[in-house]
Amino acid sequence: MSILEALNPAQCEAAEIVDGPLLILAGAGSGKTRVLTYRIAYLINELGVNPWNILAVTFTNKAAGEMRERVEKLVGGMAGQIWGGTFHSICARLLRFEAEPFGLDSNFTIYDEDDRRAAMRRVMEAHDIDDQDLKPRAVIAQISRAKNSMLDPHQFALEAGESPHQQQIAELFTSYEAELRRNNAFDFDDLLVEVVRQFDNHPEVLAKYQERFRFLLVDEYQDTNRPQYLFCRQLAAAHRNICVVGDDDQSIYQFRGADIRNILDFERDYPEAKVVRLEQNYRSTGRILAAANAVIQNNQRRKGKELWTQAGDGELIELVECDTDRREARYIVDKLRRFINYEGYSPGDTAILYRTNAQSRALEEELQRSGMPYIIVGSIRFYERKEIKDILAYLRLLANPADDINLLRIINVPRRGIGATSLERLQVFAREQSLGLYAALDHLDQVPRLGGRAVKSLTEFRDLAHGLVADRGGMDLPELGQAIFERSGYRQMLLDENSPEAEVRAENVDQLIAFMTEFSQTREEPTLESFLEEIALMSPLDESPDTSKMITLMTLHSAKGLEFPLVFLSGMEEHLFPTSRAIEESQTNPQAIEEERRLCYVGITRARERLFMTYACRRYTFGKMIETSPSRFLDELPSELVALRREVDFSARAPRPGAARHGSGNQIFAAPEKPKRKPEPKGVHYEWDEPPASQGADDLPTYIDASDPFAVGQWVKHPSWGRGEIVAREGQGEKMKLSIRFKGSQVKKVAVAYARLEPA
DNA sequence: CAGCGGTTCATTTTT
DNA sequence: TGAACCGCTG
């Protein structure tokens, strides 16, 4: 009996066709991941394929890990031998493994957006270009686009033609590339481009991998860009065993070079390709699916498919109009509390999705008041925090001393009295001698016009670095992190600051070191380089481990591939979703709106049972209240699927059908909510279903729970800051942080586990 | 050299 | 609204 009997006929076919190219067109919720895992298990268990011969490309590293786990359940420990990960992490590993034949230094650094910008600034300075009239960001965007089209600086210059502006960018492109090579660094785009070029130039290396990766699986194929497409084509050229899975309706990364043609033209690239369509949806209710189908139908450019389900209709989709973004947030949080308290949902069943990260702020404030556990995916990324980036910069310096950009970040952090003037002198010297800055530190006596104080400070820094390099061999990863934290004076700097914020930052560094410990215990090769690489290529989702227990807030992009029983799509407004940019662009190109619509489709299809879509009539934007209008996508929802309600006055719970008219007016008004009898709450219960009488300066109700000493509204005493009122809190248990308003009305953020707080 | 206060500018989305 | 950048002062 085959393991594939657990699959439906279409899924079974998709898992079984293992010879030659295969395109699986998998609609949202059609069991795609299930097919992929069974396919791999089938290859290994029933066809005796060595897992070592399988390469699985996924969209996040987390997804790769989950797939490996699921395969493991079917085939056992051998699953660990499957190569899996994102294009970027796979390519980074390839570049390190093959550094020698490729003529590279395997200790290269991977530049993120910040590093990239810093590098570009430096290049522009060298070219004497004022960054006011040519912004580094814009130049980088153009370079990135060029790389995603596989253009090198030379080809870019040819395409630029006569335009002096474009020629200037071409020059900057050339210098930027030189700068990165000098620093032994690659940016995100380079990782892919470099592998493709190297494979072209080293067919013997390519052949090795073609031989090894006899079975190629690529998930989210609709979001591949040109270099990724070429990479796949290179690997598959010999055996043509390539299985790609995708959904043209869920292509949402064209802004970063994804080319929808890669999926639309798959059958042209591989004429012998078989195509399997998965259209039965196992995720959502009939109404949710109908809404999704109705919206996406407005796109012209698609392969065309219609999802269907055997599940029932389910509830109506609720469309909620709120007068402000604040009210919208409050409505959502209030609704969540009810679902969690009385409808048997747990926080982990729920998600709030939005178009832009900026929208998370108002929602977060409301959630903080509520005390319900939540996690924001991606907006304030752990590895982008100053203190984390600083400590990482020290680590990167040890791994790759040739990286000036990195060294400049920390040479005066903590303050060592090394100022701009001294640094400039050092840089001029280094440039003249063709030395990296780190190497130049060994010749301080030869640097012209360097003051005695500066020499002393720079020597101090050099000795610090040398010391760490010398001792590195005898330390494991977390010890090294700890040593950097201590010896660099970073910990002392935070201690001296003696503020709650500094405490939190110290705690963050401790967290980083804790992760280093975990890393060195769980990874096969816990080297410094692999650690830095993993962090550099981490997606926001890879960073947040426990979305399963909390209300999850994230962008629609981050939500791709996920599902939740209860979903809120917030900010359904013109100029926000679709964005102003897309609207503007659609003046000249009607298809510009289509990617936004696909994003909307992705959002709708995340929901299993209940879907709420909300919009505000006025929204705080750039500190100003802006009048808004409902998103055009709402007009595309069939009226019979939707219940419309209005949230105007918070204290009046019942909706007030009223003045404002919406869009084409095809929505129904919901009957006023009938007063429900409260069932006995089960499990965790979040308080304040009935809001207490409003209090406080504004007319917003403040919720207070007297049994919880750290509830919002309670007073506490801080050893150094005195008495203060808790105005907000985040996190749980040991990680709980409080925002406290002390006298002088300054608000400080405090980690409960660190600050010795007393009730006051 | 560091710290302060003023100004300006920005929001897509992410590896 | 706020982060990020600039220029001035001590």
Please check whether strand B approaches the CB of A449 to within 7 Å: no
More confident residue, A673 or A151: A151
How are beta strands A642-647 and A317-324 bridged, if at all?
Answer: parallel
pLDDT greater at residue A6 or residue A458: A458
CA A450 to C1' B14, in angstroms, rounded, equals: 43
- Integer distance in angstroms from CA A331 to C1' C2? 25
Nucleotide nearest to A356 (CA to C1'): B12
- CA dist list (Å): A222 to A247, A334, A558, A756: 6, 37, 16, 52
The packing angle between helices A32-45 and A61-75, to 10°, is: 50
Is A420 near strand C, with its CB below 7 A from some atom of it? no
- A77-100 burial string, b = 16+ CB within 10 Å, else e? eebeebbbbbbbbbbbbbbbebee
User: How far, in Å, is the CA of A744 from the C1' of nucleotide B5?
Assistant: 20
**Is nucleic acid strand C under 7 Å from A131's C-beta?**
yes
Nucleotide nearest to A576 (CA to C1'): B12
Evaluate if the CB of A725 falls below 7 Å from strand C: no
DSSP A668-702: EEPPPPPPPPPPPP-SS--S-SSPPPP-SSSSS--
Looking at residue A292, what is its pLDDT?
96
| Nucleotide with the nearest C1' to A578 CA | B12
The lowest-confidence range among A359-368, A398-407, A459-468, A697-706 is A697-706
Task: Inform me whether the pLDDT recorded for A702 exceeds 80.
Answer: no
> φ and ψ at A101, to 5 degrees?
-60, -30
Q: Between the CA of A420 and the C1' of B1, what is the distance in angstroms?
A: 9
As separate numbers, helices (DSSP H) first and strands (DSSP E) second, chain A gives 30, 22
pLDDT at A686: 52
Strand pairing category for A215-218 and A242-246: parallel
Which nucleotide lies at the shortest CA–C1' distance from A454? B1
pLDDT in tens, A605-650: 999 999 999 999 999 998 889 999 999 999 999 999 999 988 864 4
pLDDT of residue A657: 37
**If you measure CA to C1', which residue is closest to nucleotide B8?**
A132
Mean pLDDT computed over every residue of chain A? 86
The residues of A that are catalytic are 32-33, 219-220, 250, 606
Tell me, what's the pLDDT at A720? Answer: 66
In angstroms, the CA of A623 and the C1' of C1 are apart by 4
User: What residues contact residue A96 under an 8 Å CB cut-off, 6+ apart?
Assistant: A106, A108, A529, A533
Nearest to A189 by CA among A234, A142, A144: A144
Residue A149 is predicted with a pLDDT of 93
Higher-pLDDT residue of A669 and A46 is A46
Residue A678 has pLDDT above 90, yes or no: no
pLDDT band at A682 (very low <50, low <70, confident <90, very high): very low
- Could you read off the pLDDT of A84-122 as tens digits, one per residue? 999 999 999 999 999 999 999 999 999 999 999 999 999
Nucleotide minimizing C1' to CA distance for residue A624: C1
Statement: the CB of A620 is under 7 Å from strand C? yes
With 90 as the cut, is the pLDDT of residue A546 above it?
Answer: no
**Residue A705 CB in 7 A reach of strand C:** no
Instruction: Report DSSP letters for A515-531, one per residue.
Output: HHHHHHHH-SS--HHHH
Is the pLDDT higher at A136 or at A754?
A: A136
> Looking at residue A271, what is its pLDDT?
94
Q: How confident is the model at residue A1 (pLDDT cuts 50, 70, 90)?
A: low
Contacting residues for A154 by C-beta, under 8 A, at least 6 apart: A174
Q: What pLDDT is stored for residue A690 in this prediction?
A: 39
- Phi, psi of A222, deg, nearest 5: -65, -15
DSSP per-residue codes, A200-266: HH-HHHHHHHHHH--EEEESSGGG-BHHHHHHHHHHHTTT--EEEEE-GGG---GGGTB-THHHHTH
Which whole number is the average pLDDT over A207-213? Answer: 96
Top-ranked range on mean pLDDT: pick from A91-95, A164-168, A302-306: A91-95
Q: Is the Cβ atom of A635 within 7 Å of strand C at any atom?
A: no
pLDDT for res A694: 35
Share of chain A above pLDDT 90, in %: 64
Chain A window 87-116: residues with CB closer than 7 Å to nucleic chain B are 87-89, 112-113
Instruction: Among A503-507, A593-597, A620-624, name the most confident range.
Output: A593-597
Distance A583 CA to C5 C1' (A): 31
* pLDDT single digits (tens) A397-455: 999 999 999 999 999 989 998 988 899 999 999 999 999 999 999 999 999 888 888 89
| Number of other residues whose CB lies within 10 A of the CB of residue A664 | 11
Please check the confidence at residue A733 and state whether its pLDDT lies above 70. Answer: no
pLDDT surpassing 50 at residue A662: no
Q: What is the mean pLDDT of residues A469-490?
A: 95
Specify the range with the lowest mean pLDDT, choosing from A63-72, A164-173, A539-548, A668-677: A668-677
Residue A654 has pLDDT above 70, yes or no: no
Q: Does the structure show a pLDDT above 70 at A653?
A: no
Q: Which of A105, A85, A87, A84 is nearest to A95 (CA)?
A: A105
User: Among residues of chain A, what percentage have pLDDT more than 70?
Assistant: 88
pLDDT at A2 over 90: no
Mean pLDDT of A215-237: 95
Determine the pLDDT at residue A380.
76
Q: A52-56, A581-585, A623-627, A693-697: which has the minimum mean pLDDT? A: A693-697
pLDDT-derived band at A514, boundaries 50, 70, 90: very high
Q: Which nucleotides of B are covered by protein (CB under 7 A)?
A: 1-3, 10-15
